Amino acid sequence: MEEKQNKKGSPWKTDDWFVSPWNYVDEVTKGFNPPKKVIIHDVTLRDGEQQAGVIYTKDDKVRIAEKLAEAGVHRIETGMPVVSPMDEAAIKEIVKRNLGPEIFCFSRCMVDDVKRAADCGVSGIVIEIPASAHMVEQAYRWPLEKAIELSITATACAKEHGLYTVFFTIDGTRTEMDFLLNLVERVAAEGHMDAFTLVDTFGVLSPQAAGYFTRKVKERVAKPLEIHFHSDFGLGVANTIMAVLEGAEVIHSTVGGIGERCGNAPMEETALALLMMYGIDVGINYGKLNELSKLVMDLSGLETPPQRPFVGEKAYTVESGIVTGWYRNAFKDNPTTVFPVRHEFVGHAAPEIIMGKKSGVDNLLVWAERLGLEIGEDRRLAVISEVKRLSHDLKRVLTEQEFKEIVARVKA
């Protein structure tokens, strides 16, 4: 570890974060083979909107695309033109604005879908095909050969229209590996493919299997690999990272992890884990993450879980007396001793100390200083006792006014 530290500095500890040095020891990192550059392909406007009940207007999509561009996202998948005239208009408007990121569409393996995407002026297209026999036969009720022929024709059409073509195999992780790879090779040979997406449609991979999947595909597919993993088992981030460490180059993710069913790999957690735990900088503007998250959640009609890493409202909130003591002693000069990632780095509001059942004298001292209250040492335990009792009875933390009333009631 010392040799690596001298060569690289301290990637686990900077002014902005403090993670475990064990992440960087040779015994941990010796098998990693990440690409030289990792690209963020945001699918919020397509797969994110597929979360039940989320509806974006044309204006919503344009506003989100603008904010994604401000955050430095490399690609924006804007949706499917065939979904509605409103979606088609939104895609055309986003293209017209020339925001900076590459603009992609998503399409079924249908020639008409591809032509409508090309008419929108996008530079790339993601073309999907059901890849497992059970999905083709049971969900689509197609003969298998039809799915293959449609994909060949659609991808060839995309090439004719000058679109960067990403081949996307639905339910690829619940099929037989050779069957999947034979399908991919046939489409590449008879149709067209600029890149191939590793797709875990139902979020059913383990992290170890995600690495295996990537390695096996790389053995036979000499194209850039993209990653589109869902989070039905809560493993979207871990699986995406495992694929990157095996050489996959493009991450499909959504803001806040929104998406079909249990959602996609969240961009915030994926990008920050890669940066801080693996030394892989995807090159986005990390300070814009909270601003971006708030806009997407507001326009989605969703609430960010308060404990969500980096962007949750309570991610930098402390109630317990012990941790408040750490805050009082360390935060000013050593903020990452208390919070592993400095709040300014991700654009979060400053840490907040609240008052409740788990609070102690250190909380009292923080609040007293902020509110300009004088609370003698001989009164402090009595005040805290009353705070704990009232918070317990109300089943919530206290307001400033409630705290002031307690302080006024408690006599020396």
SS3 call for 16: coil
SS3 call for 57: coil
User: What does the pLDDT look like over 142-174, one tens digit per residue?
Assistant: 777 787 888 899 999 999 999 999 999 999 999
In the chain, the domains with their CATH numbers are: 31-300 (3.20.20.70), 317-409 (no CATH)
Exposure string over 364-382, b if 16+ CB within 10 A, otherwise e: bbbbbeeeeeebeeeebeb
pLDDT at residue 8 in the model? 43
Task: Give the pTM.
Answer: 0.93
What is the separation of C-alpha 126 from the centre of its chain, rounded to a whole number of angstroms? 19
The token duo for 239 is 């699986």
What residues contact residue 57 under an 8 Å CB cut-off, 6+ apart?
Answer: 86, 90
What residues contact residue 346 under an 8 Å CB cut-off, 6+ apart?
Answer: 268, 272, 286, 287, 289, 290, 310, 311
Which of 247, 253, 241 shows the shortest CA–CA distance to 223? 247
Please state, in angstroms and rounded to a whole number, the distance separating the CA atoms of residues 321 and 357: 9
- 58: pLDDT confidence band, cut at 50, 70 and 90? very high
The token duo for 330 is 């360390």
pLDDT at residue 188 in the model? 92
User: What does the pLDDT look like over 255-274, one tens digit per residue?
Assistant: 999 999 999 999 999 999 99
